[in-house]
Amino acid sequence: MRLVAGLEAIQHGRIAIGGRTVGAAPGPDLPPEQRNVGFLFQDYALFPHLSAADNIGFGLQHLGAAERRNRVGEVLERVGVSALADAYPHTLSGGQQQRIALARALAPSPGMLLLDEPLSGLDARLRHGLADTLLTVLRETGTTAVVVTHDPEEAMYVADRIGVMRDGRLMQFGPPGAVYGRPESPFVANFLSDTNRLSGTVGGAGAIDTGWGPVDAGDLPAGAAVQILVRYEGVGFAGDGAVRARVLRSRPIGGDALIALETTGRPGETLYARAPAARAPHEGDCVAVTLDPAHVFVFPSANAK
């Protein structure tokens, strides 16, 4: 993100925004002020010596005073904090600072908006409101945005396309549904949701005996050591499952319950499940367990880490 904005010198490759090369190594590396990108920092980085309106007007130096005032008013209204124009940053709450910072980044109509963990500093209640403001504003202005986040739900909520990064490498890139439904690595699967991690070996007929029911090995060869990731929500209790398990704990967390299971075949191995609290089994129950193939992912063990 800092490379895209030109805040860091590029060492390899090329960066283009809308077909225009803004940074390349070797080659021209435009300074940030010539790239027309907006940047929303995690700590907002509002200028403490300027009022909210002056913060927003900072990037509008090329406009006349009247024009600038209009534009500032317009953006303030768009993010819904018109009343705060004259306030100084230290008097604002986190959510308000966030909105001012967003307005400041949007004011010069950037070709691209970069958002660094935009919602991480806020409490859960504010987060949804701001995420919606963000989406609405981006859609209305037609601005391309790159959002960095550690929160998979946030990513899936705001993104048209998700890229999962690990140690600076792009692990997978695609629409949220595709990345969620067909993770290409254990890391991606584990990142997007809570998973159980089992291990096993591919048996004959391309099936793996996990102790929790057979799992299709896909095209992995027989005898290969594999790891199996099972999402919490992929563990079901529908009627006739062949595997029976004892419920160690079942605790409601909001609308869902988190359930810990132990099967007789594999003592000591705990499988977690997540189910609507109303339909969750009770502690001490013995239940039939099925694994939903849509939430079970098999990877060769060599890949493991």
Partner 1 sequence: MPDASPVAAPFALPRAGILPFRRPADAVWGLGLAAVLGAVLLPIATVLAHLFVPTGDLWAHLASTVLPRYVANTLWLIAGVGALTLIGGVGTAWLVSLCRFPGRRFFSWALLLPFAMPAYVIAYTYTGLLDFAGPVQTGLRDLFGWTGADYPAPNIRSLPGAIAMLSLVLYPYVYLLSRSAFLEQSICSLEVSRTLGCTPAQAMWRVALPLARPSIVAGMALALLEALNEFGAMQHFGVDTFTTGIFRVWLADGSPAAAAKLASVFLIFVFAILVLERRSRGRAAFHNLSIRYRPLPGWRLTGWRAALAVAFCATPVIFGFAAPAAALAWWTWLSAAEVVDSDFVRLAFTSVGLAGSAALITVAAAVFLAYAARRSASRLFRGLTRLAALGYAVPGAVLAVGIVIPFAALDEWINSLGADVFGLSPGLIFSGTVFALLFAYAVRFLAISYGAIDSGLSRVTGHMDDAARTLGASATGVVRRIHAPMLRPSIAAAGLLIFVDVLKELPATLLLRPFGIDTLALRTYEFATDEQLVEAAPSALAIVLAGVLPVILLSRAMRRSSEPREAEKIAPIAARRS
Nearer to partner 1, 71 or 231 (CB): 71
Q: Which window, 105-113, 134-142, 227-235, 258-266, contacts partner 1 (CB under 8 A)?
A: 105-113
Residue 92, CB half-sphere, CA atoms under 13 Å: how many? 25
- What distances in angstroms separate CA 203 from CA 1, 210, 215, 226, 271, one per listed residue? 45, 10, 10, 11, 22
Q: Which window, 26-34, 133-141, 233-241, 295-303, contacts partner 1 (CB under 8 A)?
A: 26-34
- What distances in angstroms separate CA 3 from CA 15, 103, 270, one per listed residue? 8, 22, 44
Q: Does 237 bind partner 1 (CB under 8 A)?
A: no
Q: Does 7 bind partner 1 (CB under 8 A)?
A: yes
Can you tell me whether residue 65 is helix, strand or coil? helix
β-strands 195-201, 225-231 pairing: antiparallel
Q: Does 88 bind partner 1 (CB under 8 A)?
A: no
Residues in the interface with partner 1 (CB under 8 A) total: 31
Q: Considering only residues 109 through 148, tell me which ones interact with partner 1, judged by CB under 8 A.
A: 110, 114
What is the spatial distance between Cα 33 and Cα 35, in angstroms, rounded to a whole number?
Answer: 6
Nearer to partner 1, 7 or 288 (CB): 7
Q: How far is the CB of 299 from partner 1 (least distance, A)?
A: 30
Can you tell me whether residue 31 is helix, strand or coil? coil
Nearer to partner 1, 8 or 132 (CB): 8
- What distances in angstroms separate CA 7 from CA 1, 109, 147, 192, one per listed residue? 9, 19, 17, 30
Enumerate the β-bridge partners of residue 92.
none
Q: How far is the CB of 117 from partner 1 (least distance, A)?
A: 12
Q: Does 106 bind partner 1 (CB under 8 A)?
A: no
What is the spatial distance between Cα 196 and Cα 92, in angstroms, rounded to a whole number?
Answer: 43
Q: How far is the CB of 162 from partner 1 (least distance, A)?
A: 24
Residue 186, CB half-sphere, CA atoms under 13 Å: how many? 18
Q: Considering only residues 37 through 66, tell me which ones interact with partner 1, judged by CB under 8 A.
A: 37-39, 41-43, 45, 47-49, 58-59, 61-62
Provide the token pair at 233: 């929500």
Q: Does 32 bind partner 1 (CB under 8 A)?
A: yes
Among 15, 22, 35, 237, binds partner 1 (CB under 8 A): 35
Q: How far is the CB of 45 from partner 1 (least distance, A)?
A: 4
Cβ proximity of 27 and 9 under 8 Å:
no
Q: Does 108 bind partner 1 (CB under 8 A)?
A: yes
Enumerate the β-bridge partners of residue 145.
113
Binding site for partner 1 (CB under 8 A): 2, 5-9, 29, 31-33, 35, 37-39, 41-43, 45, 47-49, 58-59, 61-62, 101, 104-105, 108, 110, 114
